[in-house]
Structure 1
């Protein structure tokens, strides 16, 4: 591993269900598990969340080159209802045409948050609250933040 950048890599023990953090010089004791539906190998030189950082270690799943925190059923429900409200607002305001320029992309991003492929940030929650739907924005702000 000499010369590789710090990040999450497949565990050198050979266990495909684990990722271990390489700090740039040596393997650390920080491990996380990989969900079967997620990729199991990091790209060489990829950056990941630092152990002990906001993603925490030992929890979550590997998404691209970042470990995302696991989503519980309560967060998944909040995010799904937020997505439904985004769609309802987009359809009901479709007659105005101009709001569709931001409502459609924001609804698509909200779907990504529900599926766990996009990060749920406070900034996106506030923008959803202001530009798409008040209820959807509040639900995204109440849901656990990913970044």
Structure 2
């Protein structure tokens, strides 16, 4: 059973190398850790049957993957396909429905922004219809805007 232990260890190291160098998705990390755990199990209990080895590997892999997926939260904003992060900040549009701190409005852009010309807008100050405003932040499906102050 010593050969099986080394096979599991090599599999774990290869999967870890694939994770680090190629995928970067963290999915194969759980499989590599599971294979290394089976290798340690075989080092401690060398007479373990193949059925138990594969069952432990499958249970550890799928269990750890399921736990990770359940607690994983996407916090990175770079998942928007086709958009450079922060590209929309600073864009200027015209308010077509007034907005205030307590009321959402609408802003229109001459050229589409993230696939649409009109967006729900919110602001920290009242902004009347026809006033030009600039995008200061993207908050979910709305744009936070501010008046353009002319000097």
TM-score normalized by the length of structure 1:
0.28
Greater radius of gyration (CA): 2
Which structure has greater strand proportion? 2
Higher relative contact order (CA 8 A, sep 6+): 1
TM-score normalized by the length of structure 2:
0.28
